[in-house]
Structure 1
Amino acid sequence: MDSNEQACPVCGQPVAMVVRRRKTLGAFVPVWGPGDCRNPECGAHTEPAGGDARKRSRERAAEDIGEAPGEHAL
């Protein structure tokens, strides 16, 4: 493992590098860091976001603009 690879602090498995953003002086700047652990036997394991998360996101967006879920404004 070279110096650019990150490892899960719980199980030691390699994890992907991900980019997040933070705001500095009014501008968003990229911040690279370790991703989530994908080892199902690890205590720090997280499930990847799937269709259910996208469906809930659409439902919340519809509620914000006053539509019923599944209804689309023209």
Structure 2
Amino acid sequence: HEHKEELRKAGHRKGISELEKLLNQRDELDVRIRELSNELERVGFWSSRDGGGIFPSFWITDNDPEIIDYNSSGS
């Protein structure tokens, strides 16, 4: 019985350490994503955030009648 309890404890410690490792990796990735996002913003790129696409800022065409016509044509 004592042996099984020790195995459980060891497994729990291992699981927690792996979880902490993964959470640290995620934190590092979040920091890098923010850095890249800020860099893209500085050079004039933006994201629609809907599909995660990144486009040059000169593609912002909210009021461009030709783009509106193109989008409504289904092409």
Is TM > 0.5 for Structure 1 vs Structure 2? no
Higher strand proportion: 1
Structure-2-length-normalised TM-score: 0.28
User: Higher Cα Rg: structure 1 or 2?
Assistant: 2
Structure-1-length-normalised TM-score: 0.28
Higher helix proportion: 2
